[in-house]
Amino acid sequence: MKQMNWKELPHAGTILKAGNANEYKTGSWRSLKPRWIEENCIQCLFCWVYCPDSAIPVKDEKRQNFDYDHCKGCGVCAMECPGKKGNKAIVMEEEGK
């Protein structure tokens, strides 16, 4: 994406287009990466509720795999995940492992 120069910026940096944060990829900020273990997932959607970003896409009321372009690896989803029979459906792993 070509970066704007100072003359091209919108007045006062106001954001005029709704939802354009989606164009800004923040996945590279992550040091820990959540991994989804589908067989342990009960589709409670706690992870979707607690995710402070929009890194858990939901389709037909079911969560899909992580949107790693926007997940910053905060780990809140893994913390909140109730799992199935004591086995977490989300685990945090070192990035690049």
Partner 1 sequence: MAVTTTKTVAVDGNTAVAEALRQLNPDVMPAYPITPSTGIMQSFTSYVSNGKVDTETILVESEHSAMSACIGASAAGGRVATATSAQGMALMWEMLHIASGYRLPILMALVNRALSAPLNIHGDHSDGMGMRDCGWIQLFSENAQEAYDNTIMAYRIAEHKDVRLPIAINMDGFIISHSIESMQFIPDADVKKFVGEYIAIDPLLDIDNPKSIGALVLPDYYMEHKRAQHEAMLNATKVIKDVSAEFAKLFGRTYDMFESYRLEDAEVVIVALNSAAGTIKDEVDRYREKGVKAGLLKPRVFRPFPYEEAGAALKNAKAVCVMDRADSYGGYGPLFMEIASSLFPYRGPVLFNKIYGLGGRDLMPLDVDKVIEETVEVAKTGKARMVKEYITVRN
Which residues of this chain interact with partner 1, rule CB under 8 A? 3-7, 9-16, 18
Select 11 or 59, whichever has its Cβ closest to partner 1.
Answer: 11
Select 14 or 86, whichever has its Cβ closest to partner 1.
Answer: 14
* Residue 73: how many other CB atoms lie within 10 Å: 21
Nearest to 36 by CA among 95, 89, 88: 89
Residue 37 CB, nearest distance to partner 1 (Å)? 33
Residue 21 CB, nearest distance to partner 1 (Å)? 8
Measured torsion, CA atoms of residues 8, 27, 41, 60, in degrees rounded to the nearest 10: 20
